[in-house]
Amino acid sequence: MSIGIARPVIGEREKQAVMAVLESGQLVQGAEVAAFERAFADYHGARHGIAMNNGTTALMASMMAHGFGPGDEVIIPSFSFFATASAVLSVQATPVFADIDPATYCLSPAAAEAAITPRTVAIMPVHLYGHPADMTRFEAIARQHGLVLLEDAAQAHGAAIAGRRVGTWGTASFSFYPSKNMTTGEGGMVLTDDDEIARKLRMIRNQGMDQQYRHEVVGYNFRMTNIAAAIGRVQLESLPAWTEQRIANAAYFNARLTGVGTPVTAPGCTHVFHQYTIRTPEGKERDAVEKRLNERSIGARVYYPRPIHLQPVFTTMPGYAAPSLPETEKAAREVLSLPVHPMLTEEEKALIVQEVNALC
């Protein structure tokens, strides 16, 4: 038996919801999608939810909806999943990488502010591992410099600062990939309070149409199916309990792990623990610890071993000069994520603690 880093839960109710859609014959975007959008936006306190076929297209559509293009710079962290950067590149804009806060692993507001140039149009922090980025400060910086604020919330369903949930500060993209805190198979959603951005997003995901065969903007097919949305509606009902269990599992590990750096939750924040990420101590070979845990059936994984600014796609670009991001590079060498998903049993949690404490 092995303890996977993620264990998506598909229960009887998800199966029944899918069967009902199949029997209805209404397979593509329709009433189920609209109901899922309303429920997911309401849960976060956002005005609009626009469902997409995955989190990557949610990010891409957000870049398009704001009209970013060649010459525009978007400040993002390098310590993230690649899609954070490829979304910026998808509109031929330039990703500008800034360093992270070593405590939360999220984009540092000071570093982001220092990266602003006359060409900067937007900042997009990532709520990495389920910890909300410091949106209060990002909001102030964006306002002061006249920048658009976006959120890569793909890992942070329900995360909050002082009770205010992510997805309510900027144009925010979520993912429902099976490893995320809730799933629709493949799926994504953008939340926004801006009526015009919402209207554009709805057109962009559906061939740029505002009505049948009238194409107002360039759009594509980024639509979610009713099948996916039906799963999402059921999953969303379980999300609060799953989040509570993730937080409880994290507290269990925090209280018992001895030789490693345990995750920090900034004051007032609700960290939803998409990942429970430790720092291996100096002098320990992180990759060796990962390998040993894997051999002992514990699905520890590194998110992310190579920061985006050092990926070959960038380092081989003509004229590219990799910025110096010491905290990002240090984190990439030291972090290790342990299974924290809500389906962990007491025995599995105890085994994880025992094995990690024996190795570090």
Ligand X SMILES: *Cc1c(COP(=O)(O)O)cnc(C)c1O
Query: Of the two residues 29 and 155, which places its CB atom closer to ligand X in the complex?
Result: 155
Alpha carbons 243 and 273: distance in angstroms, whole number: 8
Query: Of the two residues 252 and 276, which places its CB atom closer to ligand X in the complex?
Result: 276
User: Least separation, in Å, of the C-beta of 177 and ligand X?
Assistant: 4
- Assess 304 for contact with ligand X (CB under 6 A): no
- Assess 192 for contact with ligand X (CB under 6 A): no
- Assess 104 for contact with ligand X (CB under 6 A): no
Running DSSP on this structure, what letter comes out for residue 287? Answer: H
User: Least separation, in Å, of the C-beta of 106 and ligand X?
Assistant: 11
x/- contact string, 42-71, with ligand X (CB under 6 A)? ------------xxx---------------
List the interface residues with ligand X, window 107-166 (CB under 6 A): 126, 152, 154-155
User: Least separation, in Å, of the C-beta of 84 and ligand X?
Assistant: 5
Query: Of the two residues 34 and 82, which places its CB atom closer to ligand X in the complex?
Result: 82
Query: Of the two residues 104 and 360, which places its CB atom closer to ligand X in the complex?
Result: 104
Residue with tokens 């059936």: 297
- Assess 177 for contact with ligand X (CB under 6 A): yes
Alpha-carbon distance values, 357 to 76, 180, 255, 299 (Å): 35, 27, 12, 16
| Burial group, residue 234, by CB count within 10 angstroms (0-12, 13-18, 19+) | buried
User: Least separation, in Å, of the C-beta of 29 and ligand X?
Assistant: 17
- Assess 171 for contact with ligand X (CB under 6 A): no
Query: Of the two residues 66 and 274, which places its CB atom closer to ligand X in the complex?
Result: 274
Cβ-proximal residue to ligand X, closest one: 55
Contact between 188 and 50 under an 8 Å Cβ cutoff? The reply is: no
Running DSSP on this structure, what letter comes out for residue 37? Answer: H
Query: Of the two residues 83 and 150, which places its CB atom closer to ligand X in the complex?
Result: 83
DSSP 308-337: GGGSHHHHTSTT--PPP-HHHHHHHHHEEE
- Assess 252 for contact with ligand X (CB under 6 A): no
Instruction: Count the site residues for ligand X by CB under 6 A.
Output: 14
Strands 120-123 and 160-161, how do they pair? unpaired
User: Least separation, in Å, of the C-beta of 294 and ligand X?
Assistant: 21
User: Least separation, in Å, of the C-beta of 201 and ligand X?
Assistant: 16
SS3 content of the chain, % helix, strand, coil (to 5): 40, 15, 40
Q: Among 80, 249, 280, 328, indicate the residue that binds ligand X (CB under 6 A).
A: 80
3-class SS at 143?
A: helix
Residue with tokens 């049993």: 345
Contact region with ligand X (CB under 6 A), list: 76-84, 237-245, 281-289, 321-329: 76-84
Length of the chain (residues) = 360
Q: List, in sequence order, every residue forming a beta bridge with 95; answer none if it has no partner.
A: 74
Structure tokens at 282: 């100096």
Element (H, E) at 97: strand 94-98
Which chain residues interact with ligand X by CB under 6 A? 54-56, 80-81, 83-84, 126, 152, 154-155, 175, 177, 188
